Chain A
Amino acid sequence: MSQQTSPIFGNLDWSVTPYTDLLRDVNSSTIVGAGAASVLVLGALFGIVLLTWMRWWGPLYRNWLTSADAKKIGIMYIALALVMLARGIIEGFVMRAHQATALGTLAQQESGLVAPDHFAQLFSTHGTIMIFFVAMPLLIGLINFVLPQQLGARDMAFPVLNQVSLGLTAVGAALVMISLLIGKFGTGGWTMYPPYTGLDFSPGEGVDYWLWAILISGMGSTLTGMNFAVTIFKSRAPGMHFMRMPLFCWTSLCVAIMLIYAMPALTVSSAMLALDRYADFHFFTNDAGGNMMNYANIFWMFGHPEVYILILPAFGVFSEISSTYSGKRLYGYTSLVIASMSIAVISFTVWLHHFFTMGQSAGVNIAFGIATMIIGIPTGVKIYDWMATMWRGRIRVTAPIVYLTGFFLLFVIGGLSGIILANPSIDYQVHNSTFLVAHFHNVIIPGVLYGMLAGIHYWFPKAFGFRLSERWGRRTAFLFVGGFVFTFMPLYVLGLMGMPRRSPTFQNPDFMPWMYIAAFGGVLMLCALASLAWTFWTSYRNRDALAVPGGDPWNGSTLEWSTPAPVPEWTFPRIPHVTARDDWGECKRAGDPWRAPDEYRDIEMPANTAHGLLIAGASFGLGFAMVWHIWWLAVLSFLAIPAIVALRAMRVIEPRIVKAAEVELADRRFRQQVASFAPATRADEETERNRGVPDLSEFAG
């Protein structure tokens, strides 16, 4: 940043990589920085070599990147999220390792593995990644994969728009990733509060990386919300009344509505901050009538609904698995629907509890405090419903059930600490301490992460045709539970002892035992990550033994279990006519659920298109050029987006037709296969005898 902005390269030059810092001064912080950049570069190189060596570029492009199939888009979202999860967990570990060595003295205040500025980048990227590029893609991916299948629809209402949303999310993730190598990330935390993140205190590219990652991926999430909502309102199978929808569809509907209404607030706050930074506006500056409190207000109008956007799909997953793995009908369906919708609505009325100390009156504070406590009621209803579902059920302790049990135990603690924080007078004491850090990890990890991993484990066979190893799945689940307990329970104590959050150093030696325990928890989290990767790998190697072509490995009761595994592109040979809640279970009760349809017809599927890729490419150009002030590229990329849309609109686009004969052939083969398998009993579920055709006499859901 020492020189003038170049008209061609903007602020880019050879000194922006962490290698320059390493050459200037070799210490643990610059080594960590350069190491992370090297992992990125080597990982990208490895990916390119692997794709070239295996000749996978063509299949990747034809079958995945240009596909408008919601199921494939969902899988790509989840793959993106898992890559980002790896980075997020490693960053979390580096932060724990840093704080375990960060005991300073009055004489020498700075200590520890990384420099304070580096530490600030770590917690900023960690938060940004975990919320926007792990949790969001996980839940959006899972909904994309599951929702149309559960509704009895062939695809989302707008398949190509869906592809564009995925592209925009990936661009945001790519911008955050590339900041490892080119330049620095912001140091303002995942919320990037001004005026600290304004131009006066944070010049340079860091905050801009965050802004453009958020603006671009946020646009994708808004469009996703619209897509989900329209799909649920307009694309349900005949007979799939609202009160017949599986609970996961209901929570998806809540998420869709919340995305539509909450994401614009984030767009506005980020756009205003961008105007402050790029055009010298005065929304949030200290001088000239700026008011930073407006940022906090607008950001959390998004931010609080966001946490329920994250948690509700997990609640949907827990509703599905508690019923399926207990062999019982879901207890209190109606109350779960009402509770989900209540949470969705009330979540818009509590945002102010994120800044009780901002200086508004006690009356305002207590109103929001009470609203915050009220939201615990529908959440409690749900926990009781799931426990009642499992009560006297035939529970199989599969990996998802381990996650569910961990969730029960830990999430309730996290919820209780939330109720404590909802009291403004207590909040004044502990806000901005690690007590808060412990609280939100305590709801997000057992809630969102466990829920999504349980969902992945549950629906994995539907996507790929083989189950995941239960043994390794359970080990991963136990490691995530243990890792959570050891990492974050000490942070409650540290917060009460007065340890501020986001602090790169401290001078109180009494903190140390707790810091060591938390660092040990960080090691467990790393082990959990490795175990998760190993689960996928070992299951892939044993895919023949774990194959479930019958498509119903858990004796499920919702529509998606009526199809083969892996599910064909068209999902259903004929759109089902739904006659009951848990229609597939109803078919099982009536006997002979795998009856072939009377006739087969041609099926229209959205044609493959590179539209999403093109939009994503232009958006990446826009984001990257804006971060580095490469104005010519920014203008070109910006104009390219409407041009791409307008040019596509000029053409008449024909859907791809799958011939009735092809559907019939595949479907008849599937039904013969089902008839040839010996039904697997509940006791056989984890063995090779489970070929995806369950013993119907045991169905009790």
Chain B
Amino acid sequence: MSETNLYPGLNLGDGHGEAHDQAETTVFGFWVFLMSDLIIFGILFASYASYLDPIGMAGGPGPQDLFDFKSVAIQTAFLLVGGAAYGDVSLAVKYDQGRGKVAAWLLLCAALGAGFLFFEVKDFITQAGKGGTPQVSGWLSSYWTLVGLHGVHVLSGILWIFAMIAQIATRGLDGVVKVRLSMLGVFWHFLDLIWVGIFSLVFLVPLA
């Protein structure tokens, strides 16, 4: 039997039988859902760009006053390494390396995500301290909404990871759990994709 790719990304493979086939529909559906989510981010990016001018900033603090580029670089590192770590979750599932390994890699992903969130929230607090709250200007509203929404996504991803660990512990790595881990993988990498956009457009463009 040849290795078939039923949906974009790392497939479970024929060895997983029904779970592999079920993943075709379910993971495809999740891709579709993320495309919808991508539109949400796309509109928020466009809005951010439209408020990124002196009128939108309305005399409030601007990017030069608020952004800490070093912290952003650290956040990027946390998130992207977290993405690589999820690759190991997928491989551990695909090659049947056991529940323990899957859970360990998942926990590492959650820890890296939490590290990202720690620095992001720290930045938000610093910015608010400098008078950069979202109530100050249209630009700050759009900045907090866009970056905050991404942060909420990361938080949801971490909660999802814990939900998956609970499922692995109680019901084991059955077909349904494997399919859900594939979906979580797509979601987790999706967060990296959005972050690359945020890193470039939100932080690099105004500071350049």
Contacts and interface: CB of A to CB of B under 8 A. Distances in A.
- A and B pair up: yes
Interface of A: 157-158, 222-223, 225-227, 229-230, 233-235, 260-261, 263-265, 267-268, 272, 275-276, 279-283, 285, 287-291, 294, 298, 301, 642, 646, 649-650, 652
Contacts of A279: 134-135
A226 B134 contact: no
A199 B93 CA distance: 51
B77 interface: no
B145 A281 contact: yes
Nearest to B137: A289
B166 A264 contact: no
A272 B159 CA distance: 25
A263 B37 CA distance: 10
B157 interface: no
B43 A275 contact: no
Which of A235, A282, A287, A298 neighbours the largest number of chain B CB atoms within 10 Å of its CB? A282
Given A226-B33, A289-B56, A157 B138 contact: no
11 contacts: A157-B29, A158-B29, A223-B33, A230-B28, A234-B24, A234-B28, A268-B40, A275-B145, A281-B135, A282-B137, A649-B180
B58 A282 contact: yes
A270 to B, nearest CB: 11
Contacts of B145: 272, 275, 281
| Interface size of B as a range | 35 or more
Interface string B128-156: 00000011111111101100000000000
A268 B43 contact: yes
Contact of A233 (B28, B47, B134): B28
Most buried by A among B50, B57, B138: B138
Contact of B166 (A230, A282, A650): A650
Contacts of A268: 40, 43-44, 47
A398 B133 CA distance: 63
A665 to B, nearest CB: 29
Contacts of B170: 650
A226 B33 CA distance: 6
A264 B46 CA distance: 14
B71 interface: no
Contacts of B55: 289, 291
Nearest to A261: B39
A283 B39 contact: no
B32 A264 contact: no
A650 B32 CA distance: 24
A407 B57 CA distance: 51
A396 B15 CA distance: 56
Contacts of B174: 652
Most buried by B among A225, A235, A649: A649
B142 A301 contact: no
Contact of B50 (A223, A294, A646): A294
B176 A260 contact: no
A646 B139 CA distance: 36
Nearest to B169: A650
A291 B25 contact: no
Q: Which of A227, A282, A289, A652 has the most CB of B within 10 A?
A: A289
A223 B43 CA distance: 19
B163 interface: yes
Given A264-B37, A268-B44, A301-B43, A230 B29 contact: yes
B171 interface: yes
A294 B47 contact: yes
B36 interface: yes
A291 B32 contact: no
Contacts of B25: 157, 230, 234-235
A288 B58 contact: yes
A646 B163 contact: yes
A226 B176 contact: no
